[in-house]
Amino acid sequence: MKITLLGTGDAVGTPKLGCSCPSCMDALAGGKSRRLRFSILVESDSGRVLIDTSPDLRWQLLKKGISRVDGVIWTHAHYDHYAGFGDFHRVQNGVNVYGVKSTLDYILNYLSFMKPNRHDVRFYTPFELIGINITLVEVWHPPLEDSAGVILTDGKSKIVITGDTAKDIPEKSLKMMSCPDLLIADAIIPSMGTVPKHMNAKEAMELAMKLQAKKVVLTHLSHLFPPHEQSIKDLPLGYDGMEFEF
């Protein structure tokens, strides 16, 4: 199983339009602070699956040399996690898409012209794609009623993706998320300050300790972090194109 962080930015990405903060300037200069919006590629010997489809998806797939996938999993119905699906137009028909009912209802109302193959998933009910066992678990991302974290297992390794979430994750989800080989955690801002619907870096690292994660990487990052090379002295920030193999 191979995991690639196609985009590690928040809804506006880095550089932010009109901003000249240190991280945005590093991004403009081509540094690792440059962050496209959130998408993850999951690969096995049997195929490829996208977790969320960033507005920057076209460029992300071009950089990876990918034109076809075997499925898309949507964690929730915010535009920075689904809007790029339209870039499959005239490229791939009948894409299999997965998510909880309310998420698919909202997204497919916007993207119905793509005519994807819809698969409604229930929280805590496993399903299989490309030889990987996948479970969506409930997290807390107000004001949305439903938002999902993702658990991936291939019989040997366990990957947990928190999705967009505040720290108040349901206990049932936490039990299922425990002891991952890799935790990919939402951490939109540094440890100072709070955002009601996301974790900050301190909260994400506390979650990693609570789950007893063997390895953690932070994603969905805003431009409010110091430049990447400075930040990674203290925090395990991800970067666009970062890969993990299991």
Q: Residue 35 CA to chain centroid, in angstroms?
A: 13
Burial of residue 33 (CB within 10 Å: 0-12, 13-18, 19+) is: buried
pLDDT of residue 203: 97
pTM as predicted: 0.96
- Residues present in the chain in total: 246
Tell me the pLDDT band of 194, cut-offs 50, 70 and 90: confident
Cβ(183)–Cβ(207) below 8 Å:
yes
pLDDT tens profile 93-121: 899 999 999 999 999 999 988 999 999 99
**Average pLDDT over all residues of the chain:** 96
pLDDT of residue 112: 86
pLDDT tens profile 136-182: 999 999 999 999 999 999 999 999 999 999 999 999 999 999 999 99
The domain 2-245 is placed in CATH, from the list 3.30.390.10, 3.60.15.10, 3.90.1150.10, 3.65.10.10, at 3.60.15.10
Where in the chain are the domains? 2-245
Average confidence (pLDDT) over 190-209: 93
Q: Going by C-beta distance under 8 Å and a sequence separation of 6 or more, which residues neighbour residue 109? A: none
From residue 142, alpha-carbon distances to 31, 76, 146 in Å are 32, 11, 9
pLDDT of residue 153: 98
Tell me the pLDDT band of 233, cut-offs 50, 70 and 90: very high
